[in-house]
Amino acid sequence: MDFYILGAVLLVIIVYMVVTMLRLRKAVTNLTQGEFIEGYRKAQLIDVRETKDFDAGHILGARNIPYSQFRQRHKEIRPDKPVYLYDQNGGKSARSALLLKKKGYEQLYHLQGGFRQWTGKVKSKG
């Protein structure tokens, strides 16, 4: 009996992960660092990491809207211009893109691998 329950739970988890992956693929375009660099200067560049991480170092020209505040502050982002998102690894920026997609934003991009793999220009406070 326990085996069937465990199997059912695993099946639900796998289905959830596949559905989420498909939703992400439709909502946001993954960009390599080179592709990201080509377009981010003509877009709204949003860092969704927490403020202390942003202050320690961020992509030059980025604006900080932490993921923890994203639901309340997403209206600070214009829906008529491309939005380039990034975080430390890529997960939170993808979830941020899903939220924006639900709110009607269309041109959504995020940095594959996140800031952790960024080798371009960086600015820090202090």
Q: For residue range 40-84, list pLDDT tens digits in order.
A: 889 999 999 999 999 999 999 999 999 999 999 999 999 999 999
Identify the CATH number of the domain in which residue 50 sits: 3.40.250.10
Helix (H, G, I), strand (E, B) or coil at 71: helix
**pLDDT for 23:** 66
The CA angle 47-37-21, to the nearest 5 degrees, is 60
Q: What is the mean pLDDT of residues 84-110?
A: 92
In a domain, 25, yes or no: yes
In a domain, 126, yes or no: no
Q: What is the pTM of this model?
A: 0.80
Say if residue 27's pLDDT is above 80. Answer: no
**pLDDT for 108:** 95
In a domain, 27, yes or no: yes
Q: Helical H runs in 28-119?
A: 33-39, 51-56, 70-73, 91-102
For residue 25, name the pLDDT band (cuts at 50, 70, 90). low
Q: Report the interhelical angle of 2-27 vs 91-102 (nearest 10°).
A: 70
Containing structural domain, residue 40: 2-121
Total domain count, the chain: 1
In a domain, 51, yes or no: yes
Whole-number percent of the chain with pLDDT over 90:
61
